[in-house]
Amino acid sequence: MIRGVRGAITVTKNDADEMVDNTKRLLDQMIDKNQIKPEDVAQVLISVTDDLDAVFPARAMRLLEGWTYVPVMCMKEITVQGALQKCIRVMMTINTDIAQEKIEHIYLEGATVLRPDLISNK
């Protein structure tokens, strides 16, 4: 079964180290909570808001052991008036037997406001 795993995190400033560190923290939690193995990942899409351009946040994925061959692409999030700023969003497409309602989507830092209905304390 193919499923999407969503996640988002904010940073405090347009800083390459902070962007990579926070993206890695987000990816680590997405992977851990959903028991994701790199060979089960079809693709990872990472978007950033217009105010973030210090680094490709996909660099964080290259810090994960075994994730060398997973396709990843970065892009700009569409600009919407009043939307959350300094935000990095991830959509990971995976092959899994986990039921859709059991997927754990991860929202950290200021991004918790995006989908409070999906945040769990598991």
Q: Exactly one of 6, 25, 59, 109 is catalytic; name it.
A: 6
Annotated catalytic, 25? Answer: no
Annotated catalytic, 77? Answer: yes
Q: Exactly one of 18, 25, 59, 74 is catalytic; name it.
A: 74
Q: Exactly one of 3, 87, 89, 104 is catalytic; name it.
A: 89
Q: Exactly one of 3, 87, 104, 107 is catalytic; name it.
A: 107
CA quadruple 34, 32, 52, 11: dihedral positive or negative? positive
Annotated catalytic, 59? Answer: no
Q: Exactly one of 3, 77, 87, 104 is catalytic; name it.
A: 77
41: which residues sit within 8 A by CB, 6+ positions away?
Answer: 67, 70, 92, 93, 94, 95
Task: Determine contact, residues 24/63, Cβ cutoff 8 Å.
Answer: yes
Going by the DSSP 8-state scheme, the letter that residue 63 receives in this structure is G
Q: Exactly one of 18, 62, 87, 109 is catalytic; name it.
A: 62
Q: Which residues are catalytic?
A: 6, 62, 74, 77, 89, 107, 115
